[in-house]
Amino acid sequence: MAYIGTPQTLTVPRQGSNGAPPALPEAAVTGADPLLLSDAIGPARAGVLDTTLHRSSEALAGRRIIDVNSTLNGGGVAEMLHRLQRYSRGAGLDARWFTLRGDPAFFALTKQLHHFLHGADASGPPLDRAGAEHYAAVCEANARALLRAVRPGDVVTLHDPQTAGLVAHLRRAGARVIWRCHVGTDDPNPYTDRAWAFLRPWLETADAYVFSRERYIPGWLAGRRVAVIQPSIDPLSAKNRPLASSVAAAILSRVGLRAPVDGDGPALYRRGDGFVGRIRRAPTCLCSASPPPADAPLILQVSRWDPLKDMVGVLASFAEAGGSLDGAHLALVGPDVTGVTDDPEGGRVYAECEALWHRLPDRVRTRAHLACLPMADAEENAVIVNALQRSASVVTQKSLAEGFGLTVTEAMWKGSPVVASAVGGIRDQIMHGVNGILLDDPSDGLSFAAHASGLVGDRHRAGALGVGARHRVRENFLDDRQLLQRTSLYRSVARV
């Protein structure tokens, strides 16, 4: 098997001593009773969820329900799968979650596909014959490893471009295969055409396809089984469960994103296993002259260090409008750039932000803060984000393109006022002026800053938007809805 790239960096599955490839990494997920959601969604919805999931587990008995993506940590897909797996297992489904392996050349190519599916240009490797051959080789090796856990009749959901090359291998083994794409654009262009031209041959034999918006569905899928399933959040996860303001303040002081004050308690929180956790890890990188004062308004964006999230643009807009922001501070927060295996651009984007931060005038730089949160403990990472989103005066998501935007959903659930770009799935979440603010032009930094400063200065309006935001999420974007949609699709493709 030939690979293109640096041989010593390859991490694709290799043949074991018995001639078989090693098994793919499998997530260790503990099941959770779906009825735990009752307090958030109400007993009626929880009852429907519980009954439907248990009936589905009986209908799907003897079949494994498998998810496959490219990373266990970092990004909305991995977080979402962890939660959905928990409730599926708790309802009796034999749910499994595996991640594929790849080398830098593979992930550079799939990140190029990611950008192209968003309709954006990128400077990654060409989608040429050599790239296709390398992609095929990596996917074949992963498929051989995955097939150790897949039996005829199992239902396998493959997530995003990294996994498209597994479809035919799994179908030949007798599995029912769903391919789910979490990215897309409302306005197809030559870049999306190039991405689909590359991916289509790998996807032709899938049993079903899932997209986050109807407008993301390519025309060549007309007449196929296609479902629209929007992402969702778990109100009980470490990132979204209630957190007292005093606890949030102590956590932010511990990680250097709030100045400590007399009376701050220890940075303790309740972990999912019931034990008390303590925030022990500081950000792996932090650009900050000094922490924001405890009483300073905070404008926050939490995102991957991805060019399409436009973290650099947020910082530049803040600098351009610095004098009009009423003493507000800005925090740009993302994951440790070494902690997300399938995103090769994170380090470069963070470096661009850091370089711009150093060039800012002192009066602006002292109010701007960059932080990379540690990924070693996913629950600790999540509770830091929870504290940030609950403490922010305004949460932003100035994305240039967005498949859905779960950071928007998370902030809305916490009742935080949100200013976000009118792109992709964000349009489905925010009703402008009712439960948030939509930016018609994400590149208009002055308009962005004006909306953010307007909410900082008008707490009554900000509060009203926050109330509407929480209601919007409760009705449309909690995990019970997605669990019902997923299990319905499983039964459809399994024909049970």
Q: Write out the CATH class of domain 283-476.
A: alpha beta
Q: In this structure, are residues 425 and 213 in contact, taking their beta carbons and an 8 Å threshold? A: yes
Phi (first) and psi of residue 332, to 5 degrees: -105, 115
Q: Write out the CATH class of domain 7-15+64-232+478-494.
A: alpha beta
pLDDT at res. 323: 63
Q: What does each C-alpha distance from 489 to 52, 96, 327 come to in angstroms?
A: 13, 17, 50
Our CA angle for 159, 125, 345, nearest 5°, is 65
User: Which residue shows structure tokens 């593979």?
Assistant: 106
pLDDT at res. 4: 24
Which residues of the chain does CATH 3.40.50.2000 include? 7-15+64-232+478-494, 283-476
CA atoms of 482 and 73, how far apart (whole Å)? 21
Write out pLDDT tens, residues 353-397.
Answer: 999 999 999 999 999 999 999 999 999 999 999 999 999 999 999
pLDDT at res. 5: 26
Q: Please give the single-letter amino acid code of residue 411.
A: A
Residues 6+ apart with CB under 8 A from 43: none
In the predicted model, residues of the chain with pLDDT beneath 70 are: 1-20, 323, 339-342
pLDDT at res. 291: 96
Pairing of strands 298-302, 329-335: parallel
Q: Please give the single-letter amino acid code of residue 318.
A: F
Q: In this structure, are residues 298 and 318 in contact, taking their beta carbons and an 8 Å threshold? A: no
pLDDT at res. 23: 86
Write out pLDDT tens, residues 147-159.
Answer: 999 999 999 999 9
